[in-house]
Structure 1
Amino acid sequence: MIVGSFSIYFHATLSLVGQLLDEVSIIWVVFCGVALWFPRRLYPSLFNGSRKYFKLMMFLITMVSTVLACMKPSLNNFFMMPFIIPCWECWSSK
């Protein structure tokens, strides 16, 4: 609902603030989805299968990407790419 409302705001106003809100909310949704549904078998060995540490790492990456997205909006397109590609590999293997 938040992504939809920010997207409506951005497309209605076409303002830079609206664009940032829209893109940052999408970044948060993608990172939350990865933190919740990323398969444990694909975790880096650093986490030893612990979802708690994986979620903490995802939260930290999300916070850093949010700050960087606000400082340099042109980087927003590249924040989500590294996290979508590994998930796509899992889905396409079925």
Structure 2
Amino acid sequence: MKLFQTKQSYESENNNGREQLVSPGEALLETPKELAERVGVSAATVRKLIKAGKIEHVFLSDAKRNPKIPKGAWEAFLEQNTIRPDVPKA
């Protein structure tokens, strides 16, 4: 399986009726720069979150360089770190 594949190639390799993980043309992994551009933060911020272990990521080599962020990791980070206001109980 290729790491940077489109939905069409994913479906052709894994067409077993399960819900698809990606939309057509969407990658399964993003670089810090790609994620930063998509969500509107700096690549440095993404790299700091990776270094602090606050966002899911993978290294594709033993050198621990060029981290990749899996699809949904940013959304999971936001869910875990969103501070919700106290709502008075009625």
TM-based fold match above 0.5: no
Larger strand proportion, structure 1 or 2? 2
Which protein, 1 or 2, shows the higher relative CO under an 8 Å CA cutoff with sep ≥ 6?
1
Which protein shows a greater Rg? 2
Query: Which structure features the higher share of helix residues?
Result: 1
